[in-house]
Amino acid sequence: MTELLTAAQMRAIEQAAIDSGDVTGLELMERAGRGVVEAIFEEWPELAKPNRGASPSGSPGYLGPRETRAARRRAVVLCGPGNNGGDGFVVARRLLDKGWDVEVFLFGDPDKLPPDARTNYDVWCSMGAVKKLEVDAVTSGPRPTLLIDAMFGTGLTRAIPLDCALAFHAIEKRDVGDRHPWLVPYHRVAIDTPSGLDTDSGKFLLPEFSGDADDEEDWESYWEWWQNDASMRLLLPDLTISFHRRRLGHVLSDVSRKVVVCDIGLGKEDRHPAHLLWPHSNDVVRLLDFDVPKGRSKRAWPGNDLDKRRGAQSHKYTHGHALILSGQSGKGGAARLAARGALRIGAGLVTVAPTPGALQENAARLDAIMLSPVGDAPTLETVLADERFNALCLGPGLGQERARELVPVALAAERATVLDADALTAFADNPAGLFDMLHENCVLTPHAGEFARLFPDIAEKLNAPATQGPAYSKVDATREAAARAGCVVLFKGPDTVIAAPDGRCSINSAAYERSAPWLASAGTGDVLAGFVTGLLARGFKPIQAAETAAWMHVECALEFGPGLIAEDLSEMLPNVFRKLGV
Ligand SMILES: NC(=O)C1=CN([C@@H]2O[C@H](COP(=O)(O)OP(=O)(O)OC[C@H]3O[C@@H](n4cnc5c(N)ncnc54)[C@H](OP(=O)(O)O)[C@@H]3O)[C@@H](O)[C@H]2O)[C@@H](O)CC1
Ligand SMILES: [K+]
């Protein structure tokens, strides 16, 4: 698992390291600045080459004036009033040492800089100038190769001042001489976090609304201004370089093309009780791989209940039997997608339960998946008397009326149960009624619309414009929803958040190197519900099933690539399993 930190956690870790006497704040700042420069050169190795013409003798004679100008490496560093600005001064110094031309702007009063930032400001002042950050001042000059955003980091508490935001774009428009702008290398780098971003929620902080709160038109024009205009003024970096661990905001948004984390020697084990986890392949392999590593007791291993199933003794019933409730004729595609996902991810048997009238349609489409018609609630009760059905899925293509009839029976049977789509929407009028029936082996898999129907007050808080940090985040929202529902909630999106009622929470981010925008297409959510159900059938705990399924879902999408349709997802599972070596 990869730990994700809030700004407060990061500050606490830093403070603990300083208090222990192992390191000073100034040393951490130096490591941070060095890490930023190293990360830049790793990302763009061509920038690490010496600056041509930087020698005291000037440009080599064989270069004409135009080539000389093109070859020079220039950086503009925008420093803010806190330690993020301090990192900026270190970066400026280190780039100058490497022969770069560096311009430094400061937003704020140097006399109010915190001590470490002030020290680095003073060091820089002995090497170069610091100009006051004003839009007019940053506008003139050649466009730099690097724009460094060292304005605000984890200390941002409110929307950045307009001048700071405008400065980014003023620099972007700087003179590129007689060359086409596209041909002039220009890289935007944010230190720790893009300025303006609340690192706990991944939201950009907005200026306070100063209009009439009761005037809807006033409010909407403010909102529109923000979305269409103000946000465009913020720096959307090519690279964000953070320290020690990723922050929540880095994975709850994808405002930066890439985020890298550099080690500043704060240790590996944080053991902070509120740390959030981001599953990656090692965790998934650990859960899916039934082989117990040497030296570990089989009993203590989380996959223990599963590992025996892989041996020669295993048979289909030891892999569980999933029941996917389906709807009327002509509406069965979603449940079939879920069923195929459940079977491919490893459930031993999968049965689809459509209405009697939809039996023919399903029989014509299904082979390895069995069929058992369920016309009404009593029939479902009879079917569930067979205790081998250990995981249920209700929602995809079920129909809301049928959902209202069958969900209570399914939940009363106390099997591991996934509720998705219609099974969630059916209770939009009475979410509390649904919550009363849910039990701890349930997983709800809403997308944003379904989430808002079940948890309208939570969704309202989440969607409200954020003006102060730390802002209410999707993590907060999912945790609150899980606590209210009393079961695991998997809140879908490119930043899928999964939370359990006890507060455990992870983010499965399909951003950056795991970006799969083609996953946002019809039916992919049904497949995800099937993956969760299949893993529940295999004996995974609800939180593990949800986390693993969400991760595998994105891996399948990446494995296929653009052009993917929902049907393709399950077909990618064998490849993904093979690559994981399970
Ligand atoms: N943690 C670590 O281990 C390490 C951390 N390091 C670095 O330190 C950074 C955190 O530093 P930081 O705490 O000084 O916060 P930072 O973001 O620089 O700004 C705070 C200042 O901004 C001000 N301010 C805030 N919002 C504002 C607004 N809208 N408009 C105007 N002003 C506003 C705020 O003023 P106030 O809110 O008090 O009025 C305060 O003066 C971190 O991101 C990383 O880069 C590294 O050196 C290595 C080790
Ligand atoms: K920054």
Closest by Cα among 543, 493, 562 to 279: 543
Last residue of a domain, one of 276, 304, 329: 276
pLDDT for position 306: 42
Closest by Cα among 237, 255, 254, 223 to 190: 237
Residue to probe by mutation, ligand 1, list 156, 247, 272, most atoms within 8 Å of CB:
156
- Residues 329, 392, single domain; the answer is yes
- Residues 560, 434, single domain; the answer is yes
- Residues 272, 320, single domain; the answer is no
Report the mean per-residue pLDDT for the chain. 89
pLDDT for position 67: 47
Question: Which 8-state DSSP code applies to residue 204?
Answer: B
Question: Which 8-state DSSP code applies to residue 572?
Answer: T
- Residues 271, 416, single domain; the answer is no
441-464 burial, b at 16+ Cβ within 10 Å, e below that, comes to bbbbbbbeebbbbbbeebbeebee
Atom of ligand 1 nearest to the CA of 32: 48
- Residues 272, 348, single domain; the answer is no
**Which tens digit of pLDDT belongs to each residue from 510-529?**
888 889 999 999 999 999 99
Structure-token pair, residue 78: 């925008």
Strand partners, 325: 353
Ordered per-residue pLDDT tens for the chain, 582 residues: 678 899 999 999 999 999 999 999 999 999 999 999 999 999 999 999 876 654 444 444 444 444 444 457 999 999 999 999 999 999 999 999 999 999 999 999 999 999 999 999 999 999 999 999 998 999 999 999 999 999 999 999 999 888 888 888 889 889 888 888 788 889 999 999 999 999 999 998 988 777 887 888 888 887 777 767 766 678 889 999 999 999 999 999 888 899 999 999 998 765 554 556 666 677 777 777 543 333 333 333 333 344 444 444 566 667 899 999 999 999 999 999 999 999 999 999 999 999 999 999 999 999 999 999 999 999 999 999 999 999 999 999 999 999 999 999 999 999 999 999 999 999 999 999 999 999 999 999 999 999 999 999 999 999 988 999 999 999 999 999 999 999 999 999 999 999 999 999 999 988 888 899 999 999 999 999 999 999 999 999 999 999 999 999 999 999 999 999 999 999 999 999 999 887
- Residues 137, 191, single domain; the answer is yes
pLDDT for position 165: 87
Q: Would you say residue 6 lies in a domain?
A: yes
Cα of 125 vs centre of ligand 1, distance in Å, is 21
Pocket of ligand 1 (CB under 6 A): 10-11, 14, 28-29, 32, 80-87, 114, 152-161, 191-192, 243, 264
- Residues 19, 91, single domain; the answer is yes
Q: Would you say residue 27 lies in a domain?
A: yes
Residue to probe by mutation, ligand 1, list 5, 84, 198, 240, most atoms within 8 Å of CB:
84
Report the CATH number that the domain containing residue 45 is assigned in CATH.
Answer: 3.40.50.10260
Q: Would you say residue 478 lies in a domain?
A: no
Q: How far apart are CA 179 and CA 191, in angstroms?
A: 29
Report the CATH number that the domain containing residue 539 is assigned in CATH.
Answer: 3.40.1190.20
Q: How far apart are CA 525 and CA 338, in angstroms?
A: 9
- Residue 248: domain span: 2-54+68-202+235-276
Strand partners, 148: 77, 189
- Residues 407, 262, single domain; the answer is no
pLDDT for position 300: 35
Binding residue numbers: 83-87, 149, 153-159, 192, 195, 334, 397, 447, 492-496, 525-526
Structure-token pair, residue 367: 């082979």
Least distant ligand from the CA of 83? 1
pLDDT for position 312: 47
Closest by Cα among 448, 436, 446 to 485: 436
Closest by Cα among 123, 120, 118, 191 to 151: 191
Residue 516 contacts residue 498 (beta carbons within 8 Å): no
469-502 burial, b at 16+ Cβ within 10 Å, e below that, comes to bbbbbbbbbbbbbbebbebbbbbbebbbbbbbbe
pLDDT for position 331: 94
- Give the CA dihedral 86, 88, 91, 96, nearest 10 degrees: -110
- Residues 255, 389, single domain; the answer is no
Closest by Cα among 513, 522, 510 to 554: 510
Going by DSSP bridges, is the β-strand pair 321-325/442-444 parallel, antiparallel, or unpaired?
unpaired
Last residue of a domain, one of 251, 276, 301: 276
Tell the residue number behind the tokens 């009028």, with chain if given: 429
pLDDT for position 253: 85
Phi, psi of 2 (to 5 degrees): -100, 130
CA dihedral over 219, 220, 226, 229, signed as positive or negative: negative
Instruction: Take atom 2 of ligand 1 and give the residue whose Cα is closest.
Output: 14
Give 173's contacts (C-beta < 8 A, 6+ positions apart): 139
Q: ∠ CA(269), CA(270), CA(273), 5° rounding?
A: 130
Least distant ligand from the CA of 34? 1
Cα of 150 vs centre of ligand 1, distance in Å, is 10
DSSP per-residue string spanning 5-59: E-HHHHHHHHHHHHHTTS--HHHHHHHHHHHHHHHHHHH-GGGGSPPTT-STT-S
Cα of 150 vs centre of ligand 2, distance in Å, is 4
CA dihedral over 158, 160, 161, 162, signed as positive or negative: negative
Residue 104 contacts residue 92 (beta carbons within 8 Å): yes
Instruction: Take atom 24 of ligand 1 and give the residue whose Cα is closest.
Output: 156
- Residues 247, 332, single domain; the answer is no
3-class secondary structure, 371: strand
Phi, psi of 162 (to 5 degrees): -55, -40
Q: Would you say residue 133 lies in a domain?
A: yes
pLDDT for position 313: 54
Atom of ligand 1 nearest to the CA of 154: 43
Structure-token pair, residue 571: 């077909």
Q: Would you say residue 461 lies in a domain?
A: no
3-class secondary structure, 505: strand
Cα of 113 vs centre of ligand 1, distance in Å, is 10
Residue to probe by mutation, ligand 1, list 30, 157, 205, 467, most atoms within 8 Å of CB:
157
Which residue stretches of 487-565 are H helix?
Answer: 524-537, 542-560
3-class secondary structure, 106: strand
pLDDT for position 582: 79
Cα of 45 vs centre of ligand 1, distance in Å, is 30
Q: Would you say residue 303 lies in a domain?
A: no
- Residues 385, 243, single domain; the answer is no
pLDDT for position 304: 37
Least distant ligand from the CA of 147? 2
Tell the residue number behind the tokens 């593990």, with chain if given: 544
**Which residues place a Cβ less than 5 A from the ion ligand 2?**
149, 190-191, 195
Q: Would you say residue 572 lies in a domain?
A: yes
Domain total for the chain? 2
* Centroid of chain to Cα 308: 34
- Residues 198, 329, single domain; the answer is no
Last residue of a domain, one of 245, 276, 307: 276
Binding residue numbers for K(+): 84, 149, 195
Q: How far apart are CA 106 and CA 187, in angstroms?
A: 20
Q: Would you say residue 523 lies in a domain?
A: yes
State the amino acid at position 514 in one-letter form. R
